[in-house]
Each structure stands twice: as structure tokens, then as C-alpha cells.
């Protein structure tokens, strides 16, 4: 199975000059934990994630702990408003790992596991063409295995089996 068979092609993106507030709104309303950052040509220039946004407040916590002080967590939460006014290019990860649409999905998974990322942009000559998540891969492999192993039984049982799967 190839990346192009599983990837999502309708990808929400950000630009470097996008405010973090707009990215946070997009992530929250669409339940997305990260976005590729692209330039005007569609080339991938970074990735912005929820972790990047929250990490912007972390150095202050780290410094307080290093100085054996108890951080004022409530004050730090209030500073989140300041983080929301920053631009994506000030917080995004600039080191981006990508895969090609013609790569096997298990190669993509190995890159994701090696770099501890849950989603990876799919690029063709540096331009964004899709995104692949660990969940996408898991669902695709499960479906392929299920169809191969149980597809003929599932087709014969039809609605009866479907009702059993969702009934209490």
C-alpha cells in the first residue's frame, strides 16, 4: 500500500505570517493537532503544532524549576494570550520530515516513529500534496486485513453483523 492510497489531500495549512490565534481556532474547531506551513508557491516551510504553541510558555516554567522556585502556573496561563498574538513563523518547527506519495506507507510510519511525530506532510518536489497520520495508516491496514480475512463473511452477514457491532 502506498502513501497516495491513504493520505488526506484536503489539507488545512498555515502561512508563516498567520497569527497563532487563527491557527489555534482552526486546530480547536477542526480537531487538528498540527498544520503544515506553506509559502505562496505551496512549498512546505515548516509545521506548527499544539506542542509548539504550548512550548512557547515552557521556558519560563523550566527556568523557575531550575532556580528551585515554584512557577506561578496561573500567571503563565494568562500569558497564553500573548502567545496567541505571535506569528506562526516564530513558533513553527522548521525541520520538516516529508514522504512522497509513491512511498510505501510503512516507510512513512518508520519516519514518523523515528522522529516521534503523529502526522507527516506528503510532498511532491517540495510542494504539499497531502498529509498522512498514524491513524490513517492504522485504519487502512486494519481495513485491508479485515477485508482480506473476513470480507466474504462480512458481505454474507450484511446488516446483521453491522447491528451487532453497534448495539449495547
- The CATH number assigned to the domain holding 22 equals 3.10.580.10
Cα separations (Å) of 25 from 28, 34, 38, 146? 5, 12, 18, 37
> What count of other Cβ atoms lies within 10 Å of the Cβ of residue 39?
12
Total domains present in the chain:
1
Q: Which domain holds residue 117?
A: 3-166
Contact assessment for residue 18 and residue 40, using Cβ atoms and an 8 Å cutoff: no
Sign for the CA dihedral angle at 81, 86, 89, 94 comes to: negative
State mean pLDDT over 4-15. Answer: 95
Interval 24-81: pLDDT, tens: 999 999 998 899 999 999 999 999 998 888 878 665 555 555 555 665 666 666 666 6
Amino acid at each position: 500500500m502506498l502513501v497516495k492510497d491513504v493520505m488526506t489531500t484536503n489539507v488545512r495549512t498555515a502561512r508563516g505570517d498567520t497569527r497563532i490565534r487563527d491557527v489555534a481556532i482552526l486546530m480547536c474547531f477542526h480537531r487538528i493537532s498540527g498544520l503544515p506551513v506553506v509559502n505562496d508557491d505551496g512549498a512546505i516551510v515548516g509545521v506548527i503544532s499544539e506542542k509548539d504553541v504550548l512550548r512557547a510558555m515552557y521556558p519560563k516554567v523550566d527556568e523557575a524549576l531550575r532556580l528551585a522556585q515554584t512557577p506561578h502556573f496561573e500567571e503563565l496561563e494568562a500569558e497564553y494570550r500573548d502567545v496567541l498574538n505571535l506569528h506562526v513563523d516564530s513558533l513553527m518547527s522548521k525541520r520538516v520530515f516529508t514522504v512522497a506519495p509513491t512511498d510505501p506507507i510503512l516507510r512513512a510510519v518508520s519516519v514518523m516513529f523515528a522522529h516521534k511525530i503523529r502526522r507527516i506532510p506528503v510532498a511532491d518536489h517540495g510542494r504539499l500534496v497531502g498529509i498522512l497520520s498514524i491513524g490513517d495508516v492504522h485504519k487502512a491496514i486494519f481495513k485491508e486485513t479485515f477485508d482480506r480475512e473476513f470480507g466474504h463473511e462480512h458481505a454474507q452477514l450484511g446488516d446483521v453483523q453491522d447491528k451487532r457491532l453497534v448495539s449495547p
